[in-house]
Structure 1
Amino acid sequence: MNTSTRPDLSDIKLGDWVDRFLPLTLRPYMRLARLDRPAGIWLTLFPCWAALIQASHGFPDLRPLIIFSLGALLMRSAGSTVNDLADRKFDRHVERTRFRPLATGQIGVPQAVMFLTGELVLAASLLLFLTPYTRLVAVCVMPLVFVYPLCKRFTYWPQAVLGAAFNWGMLMAWSEITGEIPAGALLMWLGAIAWQIGYDTVYAYVDVRDDARLGLKSTAILFGQHGKACIGLFYAVAIAAWSTGGWLTGMSLPYAVGMLVIAAYLGWQIWRLDLSRPEISYRLFLANILTGILLAAAAFAGTV
């Protein structure tokens, strides 16, 4: 690869809104929580909204919509903090992550742990507004949140663990609205996991050389040059699971049209993917925000 034309892949962009509008002491914490890079929040939120819409069989009430939106924000931020605490020594040697606050020493471990505690307390406070069953479902995700950052040390499948945790709100949405988690809801969740394995593998190709050098594992390293075919397979599994899950949850014909649109869009992503160009992988990772939007829109169309 011609590194002279390679763009800056660092995920910390100096001069952004954090630098312009926040005091110096707050900036590292906003970056620790990934509030300067909200892509992960949207990727968590839109599948959750899709589940709320399906479970409500229409546009959900404002109360659960607000609670689950805040929950997505807080838990994604807490998960990012846990991840940076676990990976702070590795992050210093990875091009994309070398300027993160814990990697550079802008924040110490004690301060990060205190910040994480605050995030978790705020997230836990939202459980007071949910049913006892949903609280139980919510608590069950916590082992995944704390295990995920360690997975890349011993398994090539950290993306699967992340997908299960990232999309846990889909299960909580059904438990809150209907009091149960039916088979169709489980299939929608499994489809979201397959989708995330796909797009997070795309993301992992940005770091694949650094991860291999550091002895870390990922699906990108496992798939190697077969990445396009493997990612395409997981996208196909996602479409199949979402289509079947939608049918089991009573979605109408427009939902099937939405699945065709999503299938075409994911197919375009696979066609566009170039495993040797990290900047394209990064852009295609971000493109999946639209996939989430399309999923929520298909769910809404399926209830009309």
Structure 2
Amino acid sequence: METLKDRFHQYWLLARFDKPIGILILLWPTLWALWIAGNGHPDTLVLTVFVAGVVLMRAAGCVINDYADKDFDPHVDRTKLRPIAAGKVTPREALIVFAVLCLTAFGLVLTMNWYTIALSFIGAFLAASYPFMKRFTHLPQAYLGAAFGFAVPMAFAAQTNEIPLVGWILYLAVLLWALVYDTMYAMVDIDDDLKIGVKSTAILFGKRVREITGGLQIVILGLLITVGVMQQLSWPYYGGLLAASVLAVYQQKLIFHFDKPNCFKAFLNNNWFGLVVFVGIVLAYGL
């Protein structure tokens, strides 16, 4: 007989709390924005709310993604054991878990200023609608970037009550970064996606995926350099970007032969990309 503990374990798996890599990849750009908006000293309450919000909204995004893909996941090797696909959690339960996570996150946002609260509705809409985009467009990875990068303008709004130009430039860099790493992730599923009719940038870019993602990585680094110049950040920031550029080259090496395990490694490596940029920002403000 299933216990309450077993049920909550399935919800834990549904929200992907057992795989924190997604939390980290979303957390790094949020921390970039908070440190820049706060000139190296983000408000403690704002920092706490945004870190918790990233954890909750990433979990909510995973839940609504599995709900949206409930008819696809059973046919994909990598996803067929997910709780909904495996019949361990019902679609109705998933919607309840999604609602609880979103409402909890919204409760945290209510401690922020009205500008941030207003922006949270846009962020929530983007996060909830993203999983359905793969049915209609070959650019769901760009939509993912718009959704989960939205913490960047929200962070500026919470910290400064405005979104300056540098905030939008950073948002664009984060959006493109998500497009790149989620394309690498989509390369792992490309055969299954073609079979079941799901769209992705990995399919759209085809044999040019390496050149296009490589070009986008150059643009991302250019945008991050622009942020550094606008904020007059000192040399450790550029040291962080140099380390990030080395990691970008390594990621291109991993995806070069379209080997699926290595494409997944390239996706995972973006955690370190986010980390080295953040370390550069912290050290730049520290000096």
TM > 0.5 between the two?
yes
Post-superposition offset of 1:275: 4.4
Number of residue equivalences: 283
CA deviation map 1:224-246 (0-9, x unaligned): 12111111111111111111122
Superposed, 1:168-179 pairs within 5 Å as 168-179=150-161
Post-superposition offset of 1:249: 2.7
> What letter corresponds to residue 246 of structure 1 in structure 2?
G
What secondary structure does 2:220 align onto? helix
1:245 aligned to 227, 230, 238, which one? Answer: 227
Aligned to 1:44: 26
Superposed, 1:157-168 pairs within 5 Å as 157-168=139-150
Q: Once superposed, what is the RMSD of the aligned Cα atoms?
A: 1.4
1:121 aligned to 96, 99, 103, which one? Answer: 103
Aligned to 1:288: 270
Aligned to 1:138: 120
1:105 aligned to 84, 87, 100, which one? Answer: 87
- Asked if 2 retains the 8 angstrom alpha-carbon contact of 1:43 and 1:289, the reply is yes
Post-superposition offset of 1:216: 1.0
CA deviation map 1:180-208 (0-9, x unaligned): 11111111110011111111111101100
- Asked if 1 retains the 8 angstrom alpha-carbon contact of 2:240 and 2:278, the reply is no
**What percentage of residue pairs aligned between the two structures are identical?**
35
What secondary structure does 1:302 align onto? helix
Provide the C-alpha distance between the structure 1 equivalents of 2:150 and 2:277, rounded to a whole number of angstroms. 16
TM-score (norm 1): 0.90
> Quick one: structure 1 residues 293 and 112, their matched pair in 2 at CA, closer, same or farther if it must change by over 3 Å?
same
> What letter corresponds to residue 46 of structure 2 in structure 1?
P
Post-superposition offset of 1:290: 0.7
Aligned to 1:11: none
Post-superposition offset of 1:258: 1.8
What 5-or-longer segments of structure 2 have no aligned partner?
A: none
Provide the C-alpha distance between the structure 2 equivalents of 1:93 and 1:284, rounded to a whole number of angstroms. 24
1:34 aligned to 3, 6, 16, which one? Answer: 16
TM-score (norm 2): 0.95
Provide the C-alpha distance between the structure 1 equivalents of 2:157 and 2:149, rounded to a whole number of angstroms. 14
1:69 aligned to 30, 35, 51, which one? Answer: 51
2:81 is equivalent to residue 94 of structure 1: no
What secondary structure does 1:276 align onto? coil
Aligned to 2:208: 226
> What letter corresponds to residue 47 of structure 2 in structure 1?
L
Aligned to 2:259: 277
> What letter corresponds to residue 117 of structure 1 in structure 2?
A
- Asked if 1 retains the 8 angstrom alpha-carbon contact of 2:247 and 2:269, the reply is no
